[in-house]
Structure 1
Amino acid sequence: MLFSAATLIAVPEIAAAQPATPQAAPANADAVTRADASYRRGLRLYSDKKYVEAEAELQSAWELNPTFDVAYNLGNTKYQLKKYREAAEHLSFALRNWPLVKTVAKLKPTAEQRLAESRAQVGALRVTVSAAGAEVLVDGKAVGRAPLEGEVFVEPGEHRVEARLEGYAPVSQTVKSAKGETTDAGLAMVPVKSEAQVAGAMAEGGMGAAGVGVGGPVVEQLPPGPVEPPPKKNWGPVIALGAASAVALGVGIGTTVASNNASADGRAQADAILKAGGGCPDAPAAYSQACSDLRSTASRVDTFAHAATVAYTASGVLAIAAVTYALWPRSGAKASGKVRVLPETHVGYRGIVVQGAW
């Protein structure tokens, strides 16, 4: 091969380097021969500053035989055409695989300088994938397999990074790159189970068929997350019902005391009439007023007694309502029993019976 200007080199003794992108290695000697011919034409075209034509020839040589010297010269050509992303890709590859040969050592600073200038115009992605061997794609284009060697150069802006590997669920991430900056993109891949594996697990563990997908792999189930606690109960109604029950109970006690006092007054009035030798049935005129007062007192006793019964009943109903509300399962909780409120009447008293279980 021929040397051109100081920025162009040809090193036939250097072994073929690994490609920067997933390309097939040369299949045979014929491919290497054709790559060498394209490479020589590309050097002559570059020397004549015919960069577009040189790019086509060097690109052909790269696809046939992606080696260090081709990467270096193709990177320089891309740099001249201001295709900085591609220039950075090829110059970076050349520097990673720079040979320990004195004849080309003087060209390394040029490669480093042009790589730095190209990188300043584009963004870079540092992609890491948890599963080795996964195919990595950027904006739908394959850029290699994990772990990637070096950075992936991209135009500034948003980019979608993906990773695919058989036996794992595909994973993707959207990242934003800026000029001259390196952005990290980490992809964690999750193993999947095939239908045969799922069927075997079901047969061994007696699992049900619910949730098993048809026609594709099933992603391994993760343990259920924490259950949200039920909402807090509003104790305002309990307090209000309890307070109302206490008020009704107080009224009941007050009317009971009033009824008892009226009953005592009635007994005193009756005793006074009896001691005077009178009686209210067919009472003479002298006892008509006393008998009228006695009847009025008896009426008050009955009124207070009824009022007390109503107050006690209301107090009981309100207390039952407060207890029922307090013990009733909160929203989202399963009720553990039923509550029934039934009226009950017996000789001598009336009331309400609460039956239930919690």
Structure 2
Amino acid sequence: MRALVATLCVAIIAACSVPAFAADPDQLFAESTAAAKEGNFQVAYEKMKEVWRLRPSYDVAANLAFYERKLGKTREAAEHLELALSQFPVTGEPVVRDRMKQDLDALRAELGRVEFDVPSGTIILVDGEERGKTPLKPAHVYVTPGKHTFEARRPGQRGSASIDVATGQATTVTIPLSKYEGDDDSGDDKKNGGVVTTPDGSSEGIPLWSGIVVGGLGLAGIGAGIGLAVVAGSSGSSADEAAAALPSRTACQGDAPHESCASIADDLETRDLLSNASMGAFIAGGILVAGGATLIGLSAAGVGGTENAAFVPWIGPGVAGATFAGSF
């Protein structure tokens, strides 16, 4: 018995575009704070969300909670503020911690808290939105006052309950589970972990189109890398030309830098960002081209029959790739 497992993955820039926000969390934090001081809480919130993605910490969670409360996102504010308090450093200012606790109490007074009496490993949904798997951390979920439908899902089991949640109250919901034989728990492909088994004696092998798709994605990645490299080079040239035109080498130092210095810094930052992205696209493209050639070769060799094989191309927001696995 010989085994082959090949996994081909790539994360390439799908649209070859520069991100809307820079990848510097400190800069984004400062920009968010500045937007909040100007009263633009929506912009402040969006930038702070990006900071959270890059550097999740208690202070970022606390700022998110503040902006969410300003924008009427009471539930999200309570969740982030509770998280911030759970991570608050023991050496932190007691006055700040006490103020955060007061704010959380005020938010809880506007919401309801629900705990669930279900087995561990149960997925919980509130009004169709997945909120986590038990045991939940924290043990409750926040909901707005009123009637809500709570669902519990486990392999082969389902259950639901609809109740009215009172303002400022904590409630425990028991969701009875019953046998469920829906699509997600039936079918041989589910039982085998998503691997499709071809019937004994079948002449089907790895399809030729799988290699063509993977190879095509690889060529697209290489093309993206070339485009990004060209733009990065252009930004670098612009920065060099502007730097050469400065009156002195120290024109960008001190308290009053030359007016061109900001533009030079932006060009250099763009050059570095795009150069890194270009390198990633080249590497990913090369991997996919090689993978596509491998799949085409396996297809031509007639790999198939009684083997277990699965090939899944995938494309998502800003990413593309494929996964192939087989044993024979």
TM-score tier, shorter chain, comes to 0.3 to 0.5
TM-score (normalised: structure 1): 0.41
Larger Rg: 1
TM-score (normalised: structure 2): 0.44
Greater RCO structure (CA 8 Å; 6+ sep): 2
